[in-house]
Amino acid sequence: MTTVPTAPPSQPAVPPGGTDRAAAAAHRRTRRRKLVLHYLEMVVAMAVGMVALHPVWSFLLDAVGWGAVLDATEPMTMVMATNMTIGMTLVMRWRGHGWRACAEMAAAMYLPFLVLFVPMWAGLVPAGGVVLWGHVLMLVAMAGAMAIRPHEYAHC
């Protein structure tokens, strides 16, 4: 008579409770990845809005004789922030975000420039510095808004 070999009793691959920890860690990684991808998606939408809408503003302002207004830092940065906000808001609404989240991100577009106008007027920051640092602070402000309410952005 031949006996069929039996497999040894299986040992759990993960200690008790470990599957919960592993699942939680996997969930955190997925959530972080979604946040980063959504952040990058919004940055691309902002860039597209900025590039696509600038000629529209130039055309309209030139048509009414106000084309030179975009030569000044303050209106130029506010128009640029508006262009970025439009692109970003379109993507956010398409992704199912509410108006509150869109308004928070819009604030992240405008506030850095508004804050930097004061040191520019005081002669402490050049106009080019306002444009450069306004964009840097904008990216930080966006990340801050996402960090405050990650549940709003991780679902996308």
pLDDT per position as a tens digit, 101-140: 999 999 999 999 999 999 999 999 999 999 999 999 999 9
Q: Is the pLDDT of residue 8 over 60?
A: no
Mean pLDDT, residues 6-22 taken together: 60
Cβ atoms of 154 and 35 within 8 Å: the answer is yes
Mean pLDDT, residues 69-85 taken together: 96
Mean pLDDT, residues 52-64 taken together: 95
Mean pLDDT, residues 98-102 taken together: 95
Cβ atoms of 130 and 116 within 8 Å: the answer is yes
- Would you call 98 helix, strand, or coil by DSSP? coil
- The pTM (predicted TM-score) of the whole model is 0.79
Mean pLDDT, residues 42-58 taken together: 96
Q: What pLDDT does 21 receive?
A: 86
109 vs 67: CA distance, rounded Å:
23
Is 155 or 13 the better-scoring residue by pLDDT? 155
pLDDT band at residue 20 under the 50/70/90 scheme: confident
Q: What pLDDT does 25 receive?
A: 85
68 vs 82: CA distance, rounded Å:
18
DSSP type of residue 72: S
Cβ-based burial of 115 (10 A; exposed 0-12, middle 13-18, buried ≥19): middle
